[in-house]
Amino acid sequence: QVQLQESGGGLVQAGGSLRLSCAASGRTLSSYVMAWFRQAPGKERDFVAIVSWSGGSTYYADSVKGRFTISRDNAENTVYLQMNSLKPEDTAVYYCAAQRRTFGTTSPMQYDYWGQGTQVTVSS
């Protein structure tokens, strides 16, 4: 199995940028489809972005399309989420997640491994 550890969250003003990282250990990251989810207080965990095993394919939630970029470095066993033009509604705990079955799965129920999350707060 794989262990995931997020980092890079923090407090930023609206319009600013953050880069989240998700470091994997235990197994090689290239075996997994990787995704980012987020969860705001009192809300469900929502899909943000997904990247295929090699990094050649990506898919985004409409709410972040054009502002966020997911990428991966399998040699470094790390997945990234570059977040630009941040808005107060992006405030949430961000989680990275892994599964081996299929690209394109956006339901959190289909992901087997999760990090502990990193808080992103965007002030207006």
- Residue 12: per-residue pLDDT: 98
- pLDDT tens for each residue of the chain, 124 residues long: 899 999 999 999 999 999 999 999 988 889 999 999 999 999 999 999 999 999 999 999 999 999 999 999 999 999 999 999 999 999 999 999 999 988 889 999 999 999 999 999 999 9
Bridge partners (DSSP) listed for residue 83: 18, 68
- Residue 56: per-residue pLDDT: 92
Residue-wise burial string across 43-60, b where 16 or more C-beta atoms lie within 10 A, e elsewhere: eebbbbbbbbbeeeeebb
CA distances from 72 to 35, 79, 101 (A): 10, 4, 18
- Residue 74: per-residue pLDDT: 94
